[in-house]
Amino acid sequence: EPTDKLKKELREHVRKVIGPVATPEEIHFVNSLPKTRSGK
């Protein structure tokens, strides 16, 4: 189950690796993402 701690860790990782400009304001966790007919 996603927690606030995990969201914080993800933001810190992005800030460190990519930079502050890429840090997301919102993070949403989902069980799955839709796929096209080709399965991608």
In a domain, 3, yes or no: yes
Host domain of residue 16? 1-25
For residue 10, is it within any domain?
Answer: yes
Q: How many domains does the chain have?
A: 1
Q: Can you read off the two tokens belonging to residue 38?
A: 């080709």
Q: Please tell me the predicted confidence (pLDDT) of residue 34.
A: 93
Residue 39 inside a domain? The answer is: no
Distance of CA 19 to the CA centre of its chain: 15
Is position 31 within any domain?
A: no
Q: What is the pLDDT of residue 30?
A: 94
Encode pLDDT of 1-40 as tens digits: 789 999 999 999 999 999 999 999 999 999 999 999 998 8
- Contact residues for 22 (Cβ-Cβ < 8 A; gap 6+): 14, 15
35 belongs to a structural domain: no
- The whole-number pLDDT of residue 3 equals 94
